Structure 1
Amino acid sequence: MTDVTRRDRARADTERDIRHTAHKLLVEQGREAVTLRAIARVLGITAPALYRYYASRDALLQELCRDVCADLTATAQLAMDNVPAADGPGRVSAICRSFRSWSLAHPQEFSLVFGSPKEPSALRTEWHPADDPFARVFLGLMARFFAETGGIVDTEGQSIDWVPPDLVDDLREYEYVLREVLEEMGAEIRGFPLNLAVIHLSLQWWVRLYGHVALEVFGAFPFALSDSEALFETLLEDLAKSTGVSG
C-alpha cells in the first residue's frame, strides 16, 4: 500500500468518524448540539483540525443531510421493492407509509433535512423537491405510475389534463429532472407522455404527504389526535381516488 493510499484511507476513516459523531449528537441532543467543537471534544482532537475535513459547520450539516437522505431513500426503496412491480398502487402506498414511519422514528433527522430554515447562510437556501434524493425517488415513482398507466382521472372518471397557468414554467423545469429520474429507475414509458399534468399530480402527492407527516412529526396538528394513522390513511385514500391511483 502506498503512502498516498494510506493517507486517503485514513482521511476517509476520519471523515466517517466525524459524520458518525455528528449524527449521534443530532439524534441525542438535536441540531444545535452538532458543532465542530463538540465533535472535536468527542473525538479527542482540536476543533481547528476539523477544518481540514469540513470548511464550516454548514458544510458538515450538508454532508449529514446527504447521509440521512440516503438512509431514508434506502428504506423507502426497500418498502417499494417488497411490493410486486405490477402493483403500481401498492408500491405508491408502500413508499408513502415508509416515509411516514421513518419520519416518526427519526424526528431529529427529519427536522434537519425537511425543517431547516431558509436563510441566506442556511444549508438549504436554494432547495426544491428535485434536489432531495427521497423526493426524486418519490416524484419519479409517481410520474412513472401516471405515465405508464395513464391513470390521471378525477373522481368522476374524467381525464385531468389542466394545470394552473402560473405553474407551467416551474413544472416544465421539473419535467427535465423527472425524465432523468425515470431513466435512472429504468422506466419505460409506454405511449403516454410525461406531460405537465403528470408532474402536477405527482407534486400534489408529495406536497400533501410531506405536509401531513411534518405536522405529525412536529406535533403541530390543531388539536390532539388519538389515532393520527387513521387520518394519514384517509389522506392516502383521498389522494388515490382523486388521481386514479387505485388497485
Structure 2
Amino acid sequence: MPDTKYVDMYLQSFGNANSSYGDGRLNFNASKENKKDTYIYNPEDPAVQLIDVSENEVAVPGNYKDEEKRKDILCYTSEELEADLTITGDIIAEFYASSTAPDTDWVVKILDVDEEGNSIKLADGLLTAKYRNSFAKPEFMKADEVYNFIIRTSKISNTFKKGHKIRFTITSSAKNFIFPHSNTKKSFNSTKIVIAENTIYHGEKYPSKIILPIEG
C-alpha cells in the first residue's frame, strides 16, 4: 500500500524471555546491550499450534495465553500502545540464532495482547534452519555458531487498539501444524531425536527485530 511505512521493533531482554512471564520486550528503539535468550526444545514435548486443520484455520483466532506459559517459547512484548496502530501486509522477522543441534525449526508468531492478557494470534511463519539460504542447497548448522535468519509471516491486516500490546514469540515446534523436528540431519524421518538448546541473540552486535508494515 502506498501509505505504508516499514518500522523496526527490536527484541530485547535481560536474558530471560522464556514464557510470557519472562522479561522479553519489543521496543521501537534499538539497544546497544548484547543479550541472549536460550530455551530447551524437546521433540517429544512440542509446543501446540491452536488450529483445526480440517477448517484450514477458518475459525476464531487462537488465544495463546495459556500456551505462552511454556519455558520453550520466547515472548517479546511491547509496552501498552498509546494510540491505535494499524498494520497491513506481511511482517518480516529477522533474527540471529544458534543451536546445539545441526538442524531445527524456527516458528514465529505475531499476537495482539489485550488488557486482560488474552494473546490472539494474527500471523505466523516458520523456517527449517538448514533452508536459511536456499531450499535447493540446504546447509546444516555448526554447534553454537550464530546464524542470521529471515522469516516472512502470513499476511494480515489488524488494528492494535490503544492499551493493547504487540507480542512476538519464537519457538521450535507447532504440534498439529508441522511434525516435531528431531533436531537431527534427517529431520522428521529420523528414528533418533536430540534435545537442543536454541538461543536467540539481540543487541548492537545482533540486532534481531521484526519489521511491521504500519499504515499512515
The TM-score normalised by the length of structure 1 is 0.26
From the two aligned structures, give the one with the greater strand fraction: 2
Which is richer in helix? 1
1 or 2 for the larger relative contact order (CA 8 Å, sep ≥6)?
2
Q: TM-score, normalised to structure 2's length?
A: 0.29
